[in-house]
Chains A and B, each alone.
Chain A
């Protein structure tokens, strides 16, 4: 992780603008509370919850080789996908000033890995190709954007020494890439952790990663097996820095190739054209009946797009603000300056659990506690994303602890939290929250079990009903919405004046 010492309120971050943005967001969330589908039901969850708790405390796995294999394949997918996506993203970042590239990357980013997986499954079956592409494609979009932002933060001076005729690629090769190398590497490392999560989650749609077994165990109520899988995943994430050594990476890549699951019995490669030309268009459009096609689009708008859009935006807004609250409440417990060198470990562990437990699992537990409504969804999203941002914020705090701004008479405890750490972290925190906005939007697909009809819910239904025309339209609209939110959050970030080097490179 890079030090964030460049980021200081004194660099022009006006407290007034920051407060304005915050008030706007909180006001939006309060308004959303009125319209959102949030309700409490009286429930009787203790029998089920105690079984879950017992499972977590007494994890058990009958079949150790399968567990190891699942861990290996989770790592293999993540490693190979990042190894391919990072250079591709870097290449795209060098031409990021070109609008079509920016739009393409935004479109790639805006579709959830799970939906990419379902799309590629139509083309490549259940195969390693599907799994790799499902991570690789959206990650390339993210890498391109973040790398381009890192380049923007670099001093333009060295680039001026390159002859104007040399062209963009050379300018990047000789100046911008070397200048920003530490930031690029650090972001790629962080992104690898995200890829591990994505890889695990892809098991939910059938790839043989940890999520495959986790979903089964959880669904069947075999909580001690689910517990074992969750612990294995936590351990994997927590230990990244011990095993991901730069020198070992080529070795790991070879091992990953060898570990990828073998594709069984797939022989239809000529399916792509049918998918693009026929499957994803409604029957009326294919037949050229424009009146009927219009009816179809109107039906989709009235029954799924509009209601889904409203619910998605309302819940996202509440989840976003609540994530901020979670960050403010948890990060001090994981920071060395506030919690101390020893006591921060329980805090760090909490954040590890929050950011590594799939939202689906969190949402299920809250569903048992509070009954079906938007509440479990909002809590699950807020805890997961809040945990992730708090982890990054705590890391920033640690990185800066002995930096140039440290003074021997800095206060301690609550005073330090209120007057030093939080104000210094706040612009970065806000920027990270805005970055997560689009992620929260994408992740609203988990809400089917809660009976909340978000856009993700309808996309999932369309795939289940083998109605790719609907899925395509819904995904296209979600992608547009994501692009909008993305540009809005970029503006808000500028408002918050947090567009400084370093912290931008820590986005998920």
Chain B
């Protein structure tokens, strides 16, 4: 059977036929992307136990790929960042934010600087940043792109490309830290939780790189589910997924995200993120 399916995929006749009864989810954690399949396979097993349907996990590489998979119904549930969740829900009417991490209610971005840049920690972003080199994280990241860009524009009244002599996109929070620590970029914007965990692991040399400013808090990662799951998996399915998430308390599973626990969330929690994305031109009206 599976040989035949592969052959069909090969013959380009059809997108492979799906097993209609499998509930599929995806997740891109904001740190430690290694062994995703093993780690999230366990989350799939947990959900399968709780929901009574077969649950599978697909690893993806980028927010854009996760949104695409969600949009064309390859996955029905996704662990999105703040911005990617908003983008996905705009594309799939009826979809809903179900739950967020406890930490995601008050997420933060750190601005970090290499010691040689001569920028002192302060209560706000100062003019000493002008003309420096600067790197964001991934282009679609809330903590690595959206929020830092918003605060830069708010503080300086200009696009980042005008404030800094060069603006890069490292693609990932760990890369941002590595690039600022090595002096390749003088300033960077990084997800606070990745910074804290790399600091704890001793990967950061405080003599070389330090935090110079912390953004006000904002909502970030959340579970988003498609609106049509009740029709496909039975009435009340969405609520059962929500309950399964809120009652997830196995530390090993939570460590994959990594979050203490999940708390309820709704689409309206992310209205500020949507407004911010529109304000800096990442989303069209």
Chain A residues with CB under 8 Å of B284's CB are: 283, 467
The yes or no answer to A220 lying at the interface (CB within 8 A) is yes
A217 to B35, CA, bound (A): 10
| Contact among B62, B74, B133, B181 for A47, CB-based, below 8 A | B181
Chain B residues 127-149 with CB under 8 Å of chain A are 133, 135, 138-140
Nearest Cβ in chain B — how far from A425, in angstroms?
A: 37
A126 at the interface (CB under 8 A from B): yes
Residues of B within 8 A of A205 (CB): 61-62, 65
Q: Are A126 and B184 in contact (CB under 8 A)?
A: no
Among the listed stretches A146-154, A157-165, A264-272, A331-339, which one makes contact with chain B, having 4 or more residues with CB under 8 Å of it? A264-272
Stretch at the interface among B15-23, B103-111, B150-158: B15-23
Assembled-state Cα–Cα distance A468/B213 (Å): 35
A464 and B58 contact, Cβ closer than 8 Å, known pairs A125-B68, A219-B174, A451-B166: no
Q: Judging by beta carbons under 8 Å apart, are B183 and A263 in contact?
A: no
Residue B39 at the chain A interface, CB threshold 8 Å: no
Contact with B along A301-318 (1 / 0, CB 8 A): 000000000000000000
Of the stretches A26-34, A36-44, A172-180, A399-407, the one at the interface is A36-44
B178 within 8 A of partner (CB): yes
Does the CB pair B9–A216 fall under 8 Å?
no
Given A263-B5, A371-B133, A466-B91: A132 and B10 interface contact (C-beta under 8 Å):
yes
* Given A129-B12, A267-B20, A48 and B181 contact (CB-CB distance below 8 Å): yes
Chain B minimum-CB-distance residue to A460: B139
- Asked if A127 meets B166 with Cβ closer than 8 Å, knowing A205-B61, A219-B175, A368-B182, the reply is no
By a CB distance below 8 angstroms, the chain B residues around A367 are: 179, 184
In the complex formed, the residue of B with least CB distance to A216 is B33
Q: Does B32 contact A (CB under 8 A)?
A: yes
Nearest chain A residue, comparing its CB with the CB of B24: A265
- Among A216, A217, A451, A463, point to the contact of B135 (Cβ < 8 A): A451
How many chain A residues have a CB neighbour from B under 8 Å? 66
Verify if B268 is at the interface (C-beta below 8 Å from A): no
Instruction: Kindly supply a per-residue 1/0 record for chain B positions 63-80, scoring 1 wherever the CB is within 8 Å of any chain A CB and 0 otherwise.
Output: 111011100111110000
Size category of the B interface is: 35 or more
Docked Cα-Cα span, A11 to B140, in Å, equals: 56
Asked if A448 lies at the interface with its beta carbon under 8 angstroms from chain B, I say yes
Contacting B65 at CB < 8 Å: which of A121, A262, A267?
Answer: A121
* B177-204 to A contact mask, C-beta < 8 Å, 1/0: 0110111110000000000000000010
Residues of A36-63 contacting chain B, CB below 8 A: 41-45, 47-49, 63
Q: Is the CB of B133 within 8 A of A451?
A: yes
A273 vs chain B, min Cβ distance (A): 13
Residue B6, interface by CB 8 Å: yes
Q: Contacts A205-B62, A461-B139: A41 and B33 contacting too (C-beta < 8 A)?
A: no
| Minimal Cβ-Cβ distance residue in B for A370 | B184
| Interchain CA distance A466-B91 in the complex, whole Å | 10
Query: CA–CA, A127 to B5, complex, Å?
Result: 11
A118 CA to B185 CA, complexed, in Å:
29
In the bound complex, what is the Cα–Cα distance between A127 and B16 (angstroms)? 8
CB proximity to A under 8 Å, residues B84-135:
87, 91, 114, 116, 133, 135
* A464 contacts B61, C-beta separation under 8 Å: no
Residue in chain B with minimal CB distance to A122: B68
Q: Report B-chain residues with C-beta under 8 Å of the C-beta of A264.
A: 22, 24, 56, 58, 74
Closest Cβ of chain B: how far from A159's Cβ, in Å? 34
B1-55 contacts to A, CB under 8 A, are 2-3, 5-7, 9-10, 12, 14-20, 22-24, 32-36
B182 near A127 (CB under 8 angstroms)? Answer: no
Q: A125-B74, A126-B60, A221-B174 are in contact. Are A206 and B65 (CB under 8 A)?
A: yes
Contact B139 A44 (CB under 8 A): no
Nearest CB on B from A432, distance (A): 31
Q: Which chain B positions have C-beta within 8 A of A204?
A: 61
Q: Is the CB of B2 within 8 A of A262?
A: yes
Q: Are B33 and A262 in contact (CB under 8 A)?
A: no
Instruction: Look across to chain A and name the residue whose beta carbon is closest to the beta carbon of B25.
Output: A265
- Give Cα distance in the complex from A74 to B138, angstroms: 26
**Smallest Cβ distance from A361 to chain B, in angstroms?**
12
Q: A219 — nearest CB in chain B belongs to which residue?
A: B172
Whether, in the assembled complex, A215 has its beta carbon less than 8 Å from a beta carbon of chain B, the answer is: yes
The interface residues of chain B lying within 8 Å CB-to-CB of A215 are 61
Q: A43-B184, A63-B35 are in contact. Are A372 and B60 (CB under 8 A)?
A: no
Q: Please tell me if the beta carbons of B91 and A258 are within 8 angstroms of each other in the complex.
A: no
Least CB separation from A121: chain B residue? B68
Nearest B residue to A136, CB-CB: B12
Given A219-B175, A264-B56, A372-B168, A128 contacting B75 (CB threshold 8 A): no
Query: A466: which of B16, B35, B64, B185 is its contact (CB, 8 Å)?
Result: B64
A-B contact pairs, 21 of them (CB 8 A): A42-B116, A44-B114, A121-B68, A122-B72, A124-B15, A125-B15, A125-B72, A129-B12, A132-B9, A212-B61, A219-B174, A257-B6, A258-B6, A262-B2, A264-B74, A266-B16, A449-B135, A449-B168, A450-B168, A460-B139, A467-B284
Chain B interface residues toward A at CB < 8 A? 2-3, 5-7, 9-10, 12, 14-20, 22-24, 32-36, 56, 58-65, 67-69, 72-76, 87, 91, 114, 116, 133, 135, 138-140, 166-172, 174-175, 178-179, 181-185, 203, 205, 208, 282, 284
Shortest Cβ-Cβ A-B pairs, 9 listed:
A451-B168, A265-B24, A263-B16, A267-B18, A43-B183, A125-B74, A206-B61, A464-B139, A44-B183
